[in-house]
Amino acid sequence: MILSLAVKKSLRVKADLSLLLVALIWGLTFVTVKNAVADMAPYTFISIRFLIAFAFISLFCFNKLLRLSLSNLIPGMLLGVFLFAGYSFQTIGLKYTTASNAGFITGMSVVLVPIVYGIINRRFPSPAAAAGAVLASVGLAFICLGDGYRYNYGDVLVLMCALSFALHIVFVGRYAPDVDVTVLTAVQIGTVAVLSGIAALIVENHIPVRFTGAVWIGLLTTAIPATSLAYFIQSSMQRFTTPVHTVIILSMEPVFAGLFGFLLLGETLGVKGLWGAALVFAGMVLSEIQEVQRTRTGELSTGSES
């Protein structure tokens, strides 16, 4: 029993560190994508990004994809729809709202995950995990909110983006333990590539496609590291942790985005941003309290709230 708990704790630490790496990679892409979409229409960029990512990950599961069963296809397509919806609502919403508003509202997935998770499973997360999620969302507000927050149509669209990402995290937690992770990742990435490609043909068919240096840098940093590898890591490691804990760790994404913005673009977080980063860390630590208690009582969770 002691060995089993030690192994579970080791897997949990490995999962947490891996998800933190995903947050770091996604934080870096804010800089590269910001430059890329200035030269290429958003849906076109997303489609090419996910097409390259699908081609890369297919190299590792080509034979499995040829023998794809409905048990792997349907969950992967559902996750792909959630991802596509998230990117779509965020892209369109940014036309009507500010980047700071969009950043905060997207971060609301930190709060939405435990709510969605509780509704779907008819049981709510531990008080420590819920409080950690709320604390992390306050930190995100400090990091992303500007001085003149105002409600508008774009805010509603970006809120739908946050809901889409929350649904993606919750359902990854549901499907990842029961299906082939590589195939699951490939199918959801392929689904986003197809759907965004269709959207590009419908919405952006009049915009010329230009592969500038900024676009190539954006594609190289996002297609494989931030898409194929990142979603593979998430699907693999989330089997050993909870959806609520996952979203708290991934809430470090804007913290890393601020760090890379400072290092590469000269942007600064300021005093408010630093306080926000501290609150996000505090939310992560608070969420760990319940897990420590579970370990001591022999109830360590490895994939679902108990």
pLDDT tens track, the chain, 306 positions: 444 777 777 777 888 888 888 888 888 877 787 788 888 888 999 999 999 999 998 988 888 888 888 878 898 999 999 999 998 888 777 777 766 667 767 777 777 777 788 788 777 767 777 787 788 778 777 766 655 555 567 778 888 988 999 899 888 888 877 788 888 889 999 999 999 999 999 999 888 888 999 899 989 888 888 888 887 887 778 777 777 677 778 777 777 777 787 777 776 667 777 787 778 777 776 766 655 555 445 443 433 333
> Tokens 């507000």 identify what position?
141
Give the model's pLDDT for residue 229.
Answer: 84
Give the model's pLDDT for residue 43.
Answer: 92
Counted residue by residue, the chain has a size of: 306
Angle formed at CA 81 by CA 116 and CA 56, multiple of 5 degrees: 120
Largest CA distance in the chain: 63
* Per-residue tokens: 214: 């900024």
Give the model's pLDDT for residue 299.
Answer: 41
